[in-house]
Structure 1
Amino acid sequence: METPKIPAPKDEGEKEVLEKLIAIRDQLQLRKLDRTTYVRTQDVMILYDQTIEQVKLLNEMRRGKSVEENRVDRVVDSCFQLLSLFFMTIGRNNEAPAAYALTSTIKRLLDHLDEANLYSARDLESMSQTLEHLSVIVHNSASSKPAPFLETLIVHRIERCRASLANLQKRIEDIAEPLRPTADRLVSIMRQMAIINTKSKFTPSEIHKREAELKEIGEMRKDGQFLDADGNVLKGSESVSKLVDRCLEYTKIVLERNGQFPDKWKPIYDVLVGIRNDLDKLSLTQAWSLRETDLYDYQRQLDRIDESRVNGNWVDDQGQPAELYVQRTLLYLIRRSYGYIYHLMISSEPVSEALLPIYNQLQTLKRCLVEVKNSGGVTSARELYPYSMKLHSIDNMKVDGKFMVGEDIPEGQGSVAELLAECFDLNYELRVAAEAATETPPSEQES
């Protein structure tokens, strides 16, 4: 789990903490793999409390000392990362521990966007909104103070992310407003080419199409500069012009390679393509197939590959760095995968996996009822019978107003109840409208 360059702790007290934390992490890993039962809140909270207890001991041992990062810190991170994903799995998305994994992913994404210097305002907007939401969650959690040091840690992580975000935002602001759509278009073209380059079947014609678009953008320049209507050089013209040239250069490299990847880098490439493809499938079937803890293994694989770089690049057995084409392709696959993980995390519903089957059925029912309403409603209340029967069958599953699973009351009761009420309201509106239409005399309908 830890890379060899991370040393073991020297302090005897830290060694004991390490052993206990490894045991906790192993239990979390086993629970993650167990698909025979849903994850129960009490099981997660026991392991969460044990982790907090060990980290408190660790902090007390280190108070006033200067300590270099060692294996204890890595295992603490692993435990919090897993617990964070477990909090999402049990539906406690709006509590501070759930923010830990998201801040890790956002920081990775921001670092990669900074390194690649290829992003749009839309990329930053989503992460900015997510960081605001996480700040509110941590602030609200602080009142209970179950683990103030964890909240402080998450606040610091959010602030680091905000600083990175501000730096990236500044680069966008350095481009004149009229030129930003062109810059966004170039980012989109570059990403499209990266996708084509990593497809199982490479199609040169698709690259030629993007090449023509790039040449068209390049021809908008006069003497290598983008000008406004009055002939003045637009702010950011130089950086956008460099991006055009960079895209055209990438086009040539991709066409030369023709979808062939060097054999010595193929093992890493295959792993990254596999992760990207798995996450892509999960993003399509998330509501029905994702357990948030599944993301942990993907994250750790990506982290290890990303951290194996030397001075920003991968090196082979002879210490030779990867050529530009290999470096760009691997970095694209890593960024794309982190992007999928981020999307899957922010799309996670605040509902326990035990209630997700009911919640997903209600989501589908709501979409169907909204579609019926938008397409003009129904001609008679009879057409609503299937929806009414399904809603009543779900409503009848409640015991004393709660959706129970055995003796447990899973998290997310409010979200499920709210969605059920919305479906009943939509169904009622459609029925009333249908009955009103059938009671109206034909002459009035025609007029």
Structure 2
Amino acid sequence: MDTPAVPMPKDERERQILDRLTVIRDNLLLLKRDRTKYIRSQDVMTLYDQLVEQVKQLNEIRKGEHQGENRLDKVLESCFQLISLFFMTIGRTTEAPAAYALTSTIKRLLDHLAEARLFSSKDLDSISNTLGKLDDILKNAESKHSPYLVELLAKREALCKSMLDNLRKQLDQLDEPLQAVYEKLISIIRSMSLANTKAKFSTSEVQKLKAKLKEIDDSMVDGKFVDGEGKELRGSGLVSDLLKRCLKWSDIVLERQGEIPEAFRDKYNVLINIRNELEKISITQAWSLRETDLYDFQRELDKIDESRVDGNFLDQDGKPAELYVQRTLLYLIRRSYGYIYYLMISSEPVSEALLPIYNQLQTLKRCLIEVKNSGGVSSVRELYPYSMKLNSIDNMRVDGKFMVGNDIPEGQGSVSELLAECFDLNYELRVAAEEREESAKTPDDQQESEQGSA
């Protein structure tokens, strides 16, 4: 879509579909950019139905045969990516279309983990759990969504699972005591790469991390990791190689101190800005994220990632970047994809129209749990602010539903369930406070109370 190197379709019928898909994509982009109103389900579903119709026609033309990728495939991929993010934005996170963008990001992450040979069991566990949830979504998708989309997602998921299994096998080569050492080394090298890309380089921070590497190095016996009986642990060579890579990287980082050559500074600055923006969003995502915003970040990252030749970044003269530049740029790309993945799996099953209410309830729930865990309240009066806020939210409902104008946004069940949980917590705290007040009364107080009620 962005490059003339991708040829136009030769078949006239495909060209017509390309024209219609381009219109759909442009309408999706216009809808994404409109911040004056929230995104409505009916607007998204109209464009989704149009997209599915074009896919159906394309399948009839190709009949399972495809002579290489052309411009149509690129535009189709953009349409699916956008529709997927729209489904997250309107709160339909458990439906098949929402899984498309997630599988794209997981595939990117797995490619990078395999390329860098730097990953922990925590990385793999998180991706494995997400793929397990996608499994459940796809099982229930066939009756609701396009068979083409379901089949496409199933293939993408199977590919991701296969890649995940290959990475898991590498970690399975390590004896249990070495797995902890390996995890520690991964954590150190990532911390070092983070320190290397901070606005102000800290030599002392990197030196402390290098000292931890030296401690691990000193624990080896004759260059090997051994057990209590002096026997070499399985996977010793793998961890030893990683330790050498970490030590070499620490020396390079201390020598370069975050200085990037002019030839790659523009690319570096773009990646730093993307990383910093995504980091900021990840901290405030409950209040500031519209999932469709992730599309622009993904496009920019994909473009930079795909500009590599044989895995290397090239300068304007076609010369490959040195190791320091190469690793620094790749770290920023991987870190950014990691943030996108986190933001996607954190997406709430609630329309952005209801997110302000949902987020208020999330905050109320956290506060009430905190009050409960710290021993409750000493009097019912202390619960008045919580009760008033809950009642004001409850009174916003019309016939049991949260309305925005004449629309009933997605996520009614999630918001109502959260509201009920908050009311239950508030009730528990009130009962406990009343019991505490009752037990604190003196016999004379209780007698006066009984006489008053009589």
Calculate the TM-score normalised by the size of structure 2.
0.96
The root-mean-square deviation of aligned C-alpha atoms, in Å, is 1.0
Q: Residue 186 of structure 1 contacts residue 214 of structure 1 at CA under 8 Å; is this kept in 2? A: yes
* Distance (whole Å) between structure 2 residues aligned to residue 443 and residue 244 of structure 1: 69
Match of 2:3 in 1: 3
Runs of 4+ in 1 over 3 A off after TM superposition: 441-444
Identify the residue that residue 262 of structure 1 maps to in structure 2. Answer: 261
Return the letter of the residue paired with 1:148: P
**Where do 1:405-424 residues align within 5 Å?**
405-424=404-423
SS at match of 1:175: coil
In 2: Cα distance, 1:237 partner to 1:77 partner: 43
Q: What is the 5 A alignment of 1:301-380?
A: 301-380=300-379
Summarize deviations over 1:16-54 as a string: whole Å, max 9, x none.
Answer: 111110111000001000000000000000000001111
Query: Following the alignment from structure 1 to structure 2, what is the Cα–Cα distance between the partners of residues 151 and 64?
Result: 15
Contact 1:92 1:411 in 2 (8 A): yes
Displacement of 1:66 in angstroms is 3.7
Which piece of structure 1 moves more, 221-230 or 108-117?
Answer: 221-230
What do the CA deviations read for 1:44-88 (whole angstroms, capped 9, x no partner)? 000000011111111111115341011111111100000000000
Query: Does the CA contact (< 8 Å) of 1:124 and 1:169 recur in 2?
Result: yes
Distance 1:43 1:230 in 2: 68
Contact 1:6 1:70 in 2 (8 A): yes
Give deviations 1:151-191, integer Å, cap 9, x for gaps.
01001100000000000000000011111100000000000
Q: Who is 1:86 aligned against? A: 86
Match status 1:388 vs 2:393: no
In 2, Cα distance between the equivalents of 1:3 and 1:111? Answer: 23
Aligned counterpart, 1:177: 176
Q: Contact between 1:196 and 1:207, CA under 8 Å: does it hold in 2?
A: yes
CA distance in 2, matches of 1:442, 1:305: 71
Instruction: Kindly report which structure 2 residues correspond to 1:33-432, keeping only aligned pairs within 5 A, or say none.
Output: 33-144=33-144, 146-432=145-431
Q: CA deviation at 1:439?
A: 1.0
Distance verdict in 2 for CA 1:160–1:387, change over 3 Å? same
Which residue identity is paired with 1:17? Answer: I
Q: How far apart, in 2, do the equivalents of 1:441 and 1:20 lie?
A: 74
The residue that corresponds to 2:22 in the other structure is: 22
Seen in structure 2, the aligned counterparts of structure 1 residues 211 and 441 have a Cα distance that, compared at 3 Å, is closer
- Does the 8 Å CA contact 2:274/2:336 hold for their aligned counterparts? yes
Displacement of 1:2 after TM fit? Answer: 2.6
Contact persistence 2:174–2:236 (CA under 8 A): yes
Letter in 2 for 1:436: E
2:8 touches 2:70 (CA, 8 Å); kept in 1? yes
Aligned length in residues:
443
SS at match of 1:226: coil
Change (3 A) 1:64 1:416: closer
Deviation at 1:3, TM superposition (A): 2.9
TM superposition shift of 1:8: 1.4
Q: Which residue of 1 aligns with 2:448?
A: none
Question: How much does 1:6 deviate?
Answer: 1.6
TM-score of the superposed pair, with normalisation by structure 1: 0.98
Following TM superposition, by how much is the alpha carbon of 1:195 offset from its aligned partner in structure 2, in angstroms?
Answer: 0.3
1:2/1:71 contact within 8 Å kept: no
Q: Deviations over 1:100-156 (max 9, x none)?
A: 000000000000000000010000000000000011011111233x30110010011
Q: Could you report, residue by residue, the CA deviation over 1:338-362 in whole angstroms, capped at 9, with x for unpaired residues?
A: 0000000000000000000000010
Superposition deviation, residue 220 in structure 1: 1.1
Q: What CA distance in whole angstroms lies between the structure 2 residues aligned with 1:218 and 1:61? A: 62
Shift of 1:318: 1.5
SS, match of residue 38 in structure 1: coil
- The answer to whether the 8 A contact 2:263-2:316 is kept is no
Q: What is the DSSP-based 3-state SS (H/G/I as helix, E as strand, rest coil) of the residue aligned with 1:141?
A: coil
Deviation, 1:253, is: 0.7
Aligned-partner Cα distance in 2 for 1:166–1:27: 39
Q: Secondary structure at the match of 1:440?
A: helix
Stretch deviating more after TM superposition (36-45 or 224-233): 224-233
